[in-house]
Structure 1
């Protein structure tokens, strides 16, 4: 009887500990999503409310700039993370300008903060991925094993980004690039810590998971008229599942840049301490 009671007690402790770990993991995930949530919240609110004296796109830009400032001033983001976000904003904005010019999607509403038909706030949607990456990396004390190094990772990331531009006039190599991702990162694992327990996950699996959730966010964004695909001008419909592969590849670019910067910073800290 005492033995059975001991087994039940051990199982209860294991279940409680599991829920505690899940709660802490969820908390850090939620805190890392503050900026993406701010973006989609602003899109939803501005789409439901008629804004006087200011265009919707301009208002969204002002709100997001304010959120970024407040996150930095409050210590939720560091200056290094702000720099990474700015890099992603530029990368995303250049891609947006090109895609809009090719008719892939459109921003039909007026605004003073539009460049070549693209509102400046759109770069923040890419920067929000970088914000999440930086935040979760720091909050879960993330690290990687089997990182392939700057040259193969950088060349692959560059090829993926270039393919987003070139597939309009030469064959789309996304599936070949996806195969290269599996080859280059097949030995790479993410290590992350929740309280005092370390877990690990294949990096390619993390790419798929994040890409899927960005695809869900994209459906929300188009529903609130953040932008429109050609088949959504008459009425909203779900973004095709094929877009998951695009986000999968875009996430890889994000991880490559963030991970390489983290490795460089860690190496610099080791040299200074030595």
Structure 2
């Protein structure tokens, strides 16, 4: 690969190294500190969204008619795979992180297959694609993987720690109930709010500690779940506007995605965060010397 092609990777690697330096700035206080911390927080968030940004840029830029004779959904799959391969090659993502993202892809794709199946039809993918399986384009799993990628990258760049994390088995159980309810509410009722109430109690004391610059800051973990869910809901509105998929009420003319989807996405964030936290917990236990 040419040196010109390597430049973006080298620059991003250098940016990562700089963001993780965390040099103490004892003389920085007041408004200047707030502004610099806010700037670094924004840069770290943007860097954590690298896969999200590149993937959704492709979603919005690839025309509905496709690219170079390749149908749109197939082109998006090729682009998503290329981005992932580049990130691993450039050491912007580890193989362990890639494995975790693959889990999110599979979990998300299974949900997509169910939600678009005959008799359910919560939404649909109207365009043709060679890479459709059970009527669902394979690229769709990357929309869920993008959420996982963001959480994994933000965890590393912001040096996240969770104080008062609930027992891991209880977190796992809650995550499983959230995922199961996405399927079962079509048959036995929607228990989303009961599960949300359980998650509220479970994570009520949990606090996420993060480092935007050189000092630790704190945020209620529940607030982080809700905020991330809101931004995903916004992205979903943009995606449906561009016709990537459509809900039944959007087939005639586009309308905003129902606000209730915000709660669904927030719960999905809880599930995604739980998978990441538990994988990290398992890895730490495996590497603890006997």
Q: Does 1:89 align with 2:101?
A: no
Query: What aligned pairs does 1:150-229 form with structure 2 within 5 A after superposition?
Result: 150-229=168-247
Query: What aligned pairs does 1:42-191 form with structure 2 within 5 A after superposition?
Result: 42-47=58-63, 50-101=66-117, 102-191=120-209
> For residues 66 and 158 of structure 2, what CA distance do their matches in structure 1 show?
40
Partner of 2:23: none
> For residues 169 and 249 of structure 2, what CA distance do their matches in structure 1 show?
39
Which of the pair has more CA radius of gyration? 1
TM-score by length of 2: 0.87
Query: 2:209–2:216: 8 Å Cα contact kept in structure 1?
Result: yes
> For 1:237, which of 250, 255, 273 is the aligned residue?
255
> For residues 50 and 68 of structure 1, what CA distance do their matches in structure 2 show?
21
- In the TM superposition, residue 237 of structure 1 has moved relative to its aligned partner by 1.2
Secondary structure at the aligned position of 1:204 is classed as helix
Query: 1:105–1:228: 8 Å Cα contact kept in structure 2?
Result: yes
> For residues 89 and 67 of structure 2, what CA distance do their matches in structure 1 show?
28
> For residues 50 and 163 of structure 1, what CA distance do their matches in structure 2 show?
35
Partner of 2:46: 30
> For residues 83 and 50 of structure 1, what CA distance do their matches in structure 2 show?
29
Q: Which moved more, 1:163-172 or 1:49-58?
A: 49-58
Q: Which moved more, 1:14-23 or 1:45-54?
A: 45-54
Secondary structure at the aligned position of 1:47 is classed as coil
Query: 2:64–2:72: 8 Å Cα contact kept in structure 1?
Result: no
Structure 1: 5+ residue runs without aligned partners?
A: 1-11
Structure 2: 5+ residue runs without aligned partners?
A: 1-27
Q: What is the RMSD computed on CA atoms of the aligned residues?
A: 1.5
In structure 2, relative to structure 1, the CA distance for the partners of 1:74 and 1:221 (3 Å cut) is same
Corresponding residue pairs, total? 262
> For 1:14, which of 25, 30, 33 is the aligned residue?
30
In structure 2, relative to structure 1, the CA distance for the partners of 1:152 and 1:201 (3 Å cut) is same
TM-score by length of 1: 0.92
Q: Give runs of ≥4 in structure 1 deviating > 3 Å.
A: none
Query: 2:44–2:212: 8 Å Cα contact kept in structure 1?
Result: no
Query: 1:29–1:136: 8 Å Cα contact kept in structure 2?
Result: yes
> For residues 49 and 119 of structure 1, what CA distance do their matches in structure 2 show?
15
Query: 1:47–1:225: 8 Å Cα contact kept in structure 2?
Result: no
> For residues 125 and 52 of structure 1, what CA distance do their matches in structure 2 show?
23
